Amino acid sequence: MPHLHSATSNCVHYLDVKLSVRSRSILKVMRGIAPRLLYRMAHLTPEKMLYIQHKVRKFRIPYTPGISINERKMGTVPGHSFGKFSPEKTLVFWLHGGAFMLPAAPDIHHRTVARLCKSLDACGFMPDYRLAPEFSFPAGLDDCMEAYFSVITQGFNPKNILLIGDSAGGNLMFGLMQRLRNKGMEQPSCAVAISPVAELARATNTPSLYLKRYKDPLLPLAAMPQLAELYFRGKDGFNPELSPLYMDCSGLPPLFFLTSSNEILMDDIVTLAERCEGAGVNTLCQVWPELPHDFPIFSRLFPEALTALEDIAHFATQHLQTN
């Protein structure tokens, strides 16, 4: 196991926020349903998982006033673009979550990207990267890299790109930034990691994995090894493209992490944020109380998610180059 160096952190902020009555009620329902569903998903046959992926891709794309959402390819990678797709505009390049197995959920991911693009007067692109179990690592990351490179070749300035990844997409986001750095390519202006999956080697045994296993409203601890194995298929889990917790954190753009005090991944996320800060990266990490893993994408359920999206937009405007 690699030895982790974590500096004394000034970047981590534990927010004192009183949750709404609505949010508390939804959390009770979610805690009784969501972890069981994800546990079952981790044990589906490949044929059943392919069927579910196909069904999710057929879901209706929501209408967002003022922001069009269209199918678009970046290189050979399919996906969806948001708004007027022009290199003259800020670009939100979003890598969606879904346990490396589910496509972007239109009523959650597409709606969230559209909302953020509208608030930033930006366009966006979300690649529909290849998914497990049919395609294991590094297929999905390769697609994200190809799509990002295609965006750059079309004239988008990295200084005008906001890179975002949620959950599994946060893992891919750090893999993408490592590849950009290793190839000597310019990083995006800034990046937002929403509950990123930071460690797949299952070697850390951090307190939150066990102390929060009955409190996490979304993630079932018992399913995590199976989900990880479906993605990396016996490859070295300490590979920093699989487990960014073990990566060289230097040379990254300004980073904004968001996590919840009740998610089992919290300690890994906080440690990664501290390591980034220790490597000289401009880093901010917010730990919200009690909310579920990946909560900012659930703005239709939790009013607090809207505040988190406003914080993301504020962070972005501090770092994006204005035209």
State whether residue 231 is helix, strand or coil. Answer: helix
Catalytic residue among 81, 167, 243, 299: 167
In the chain, which residue ranges form alpha helices assigned H by DSSP? 21-42, 46-57, 111-120, 139-153, 168-182, 207-211, 224-232, 266-278, 303-319
281 within 8 A of 254, measured Cβ to Cβ: yes
Catalytic residue among 81, 293, 299, 304: 293
The answer to whether 274 is a known catalytic residue is: no
Those residues whose C-beta lies under 8 Å from the C-beta of residue 302, and which sit 6 or more positions away, are 20, 22, 23, 26, 291, 295
82 within 8 A of 61, measured Cβ to Cβ: no
Catalytic residue among 263, 274, 277, 290: 263
The answer to whether 293 is a known catalytic residue is: yes
Cα–Cα distance list, 154 to 73, 85, 91, 157, 182 (Å): 12, 10, 12, 9, 21
The answer to whether 263 is a known catalytic residue is: yes
Structure tokens at 88: 């003259």
Catalytic residue positions?
Answer: 167, 263, 293
